[in-house]
Structure 1
Amino acid sequence: MKKYLLIVVLSTFALNLNAQKQIFEAPDLKTKIQEQKTVAIIPFDVIITYKKIPKNFNKEANDAQEEKMSKSIQSSMYTFLLRKKDKYSVQFQDVDKTNILIKKAGLEDKLDETTKDELAKILGVDAVIGGKYEIEQTKSEAGAIATAVLLGGFGGKTGTGTLTLTINDGQSGDLLWRFFKTLDDNISTSTDDVVEHMMRKVSRNFPYGD
């Protein structure tokens, strides 16, 4: 019986490891990367759900928090990459410029309806970094959203989720690289923590490293 339980535990552990991190690289990734000079980071698609809906749940507040985190993750990633810019083979467009160009083009609420090559042309870049952050809140307090808005993230062990990071070619719009990571509730304290945690896992595989 003990041997059977050990096999089950080890099998579950192996499955969890496989589920935690997945990386895709296009066959022509290295060739495309060598041709690129400037890359834009667009706002992330953020989805916040609840295991148990708070009593005073406010959809407008939830939507506002998703939008806030969308640009917060974008900004955190830009800051992280800027700190290590000497290690990368490309330059990253200032996110304020990126967001202004997106706004001028009337695409703030239409990014999911715009192809990456169309977006790259508008932004004047060779590639586009984007992604999706999905989190299920396990914190049941009614003030969870208000706390999150104030902190710019989630204060403590409040939920679990997944984060996907993608790089698309600016000319063709094709997906060149994709990183998927399951996040546990230990790292969801703020968007800076989320990005820092993810990029530490990604660093060895991030294609723009020299």
Structure 2
Amino acid sequence: MKKILLFAVVCLFGLNAHAQFESAKQIYESPKLKDAVKTHKLVAILPFNVKISYKKPPKNFDAASNHEQELKMGKNIQSSMYTYLLRKADNYSVSFQDVEKTNVLLNRAKYSDSIEIHTKDEIAKVLGVDAVIFGTYNQESTKSETGAIVTTVLFGFGGKTGEGGITMQICDGADGEMLWRYTKRMNEDLFSSTDDVIERQMRKISRNFPYSK
């Protein structure tokens, strides 16, 4: 009986800790936000800046391959966000530029590998949009997949393999000024994908998303 009670306490503590970690979020809105979004018609989504780190680097860790994975994930997040917004297009007051067109225009202007050194109004001008959505995604792997599977099978929770955070921002295309910023810390479990991450986060911010009707 004592073992069962102890197990229940451990499960409850684990779930509560997960909920608390997932609830840490911040939203900033510029005083100019409401007036600015009224003038926006077309918005572009940029590839996200992704950083993947490890508490304990895996065997045969290769920095170059890790960087390639970061770039790939950055475009995956961009694509996942576009897909989510496209599915719910009727809910928004603006249209979103096709991400393939966005990336072609960035590449043509030789901005693809140097987005961070250009102002957001410069980027918006190249893309021909009224505003840009961009952000960062940081992920630190803290547990091996094998360890996560074992924990999940034994306890029914705790499949977390990492933790990190996502930051999403909107800047005005006219002057590059930041209008809106969303920051969220999160747990990542064994079964998470970029689609899952974006789906989960976009559902949470839907009430605060500036372009929601």
TM-score, length of structure 1 as denominator length? 0.83
Instruction: Tell me, yes or no, if structure 1 residue 86 matches structure 2 residue 90.
Output: yes
Any stretches of 5+ residues in structure 1 without a counterpart?
A: 1-8, 142-155
Classify 1:164/1:106 alpha carbon distance in 2 versus 1 (closer, same or farther; 3 Å).
Answer: same
Instruction: Tell me, yes or no, if structure 1 residue 47 matches structure 2 residue 57.
Output: no
Question: For 1:101, which of 99, 105, 121 is the aligned residue?
Answer: 105
CA distance in 2, matches of 1:185, 1:75: 19
Check the 8 A contact 1:88/1:208 in 2, yes or no: yes
Classify 1:184/1:17 alpha carbon distance in 2 versus 1 (closer, same or farther; 3 Å).
Answer: closer
Name the amino acid aligned to 1:182.
R
Alignment of 1:79-158 (within 5 A): 79-140=83-144, 157-158=160-161
Other-structure match for 2:80: 76
Name the amino acid aligned to 1:58.
D
Classify 1:183/1:37 alpha carbon distance in 2 versus 1 (closer, same or farther; 3 Å).
Answer: same
Other-structure match for 2:180: 177
SS at structure 2 position matched to 1:184: strand
Question: For 1:190, which of 173, 190, 193 is the aligned residue?
Answer: 193
Check the 8 A contact 1:44/1:70 in 2, yes or no: yes
CA distance in 1, matches of 2:26, 2:202: 14
Check the 8 A contact 1:187/1:193 in 2, yes or no: no
CA distance in 2, matches of 1:90, 1:38: 6
CA distance in 2, matches of 1:187, 1:98: 31
Query: How many residue pairs were aligned?
Result: 185
Larger radius of gyration: 2
Other-structure match for 2:171: 168
SS at structure 2 position matched to 1:185: strand
CA distance in 1, matches of 2:21, 2:52: 24
Any stretches of 5+ residues in structure 2 without a counterpart?
A: 1-12, 146-158
Other-structure match for 1:153: none
Check the 8 A contact 1:52/1:140 in 2, yes or no: no
Shift of 1:186: 3.4
Classify 1:164/1:187 alpha carbon distance in 2 versus 1 (closer, same or farther; 3 Å).
Answer: farther
Check the 8 A contact 2:92/2:211 in 1, yes or no: yes
1:38-94 C-alpha deviation (Å, 9 max, x unpaired):
000000000000010112101111011001000000000000000000010000000
Other-structure match for 1:6: none
Shift of 1:140: 3.8
Instruction: Tell me, yes or no, if structure 1 residue 202 matches structure 2 residue 205.
Output: yes
Shift of 1:187: 7.9
CA distance in 1, matches of 2:29, 2:190: 26
Question: For 2:41, which of 17, 34, 37 is the aligned residue?
Answer: 37
- Please provide the CA RMSD for this pair: 2.1
1:120-140 C-alpha deviation (Å, 9 max, x unpaired):
000000000000000001234
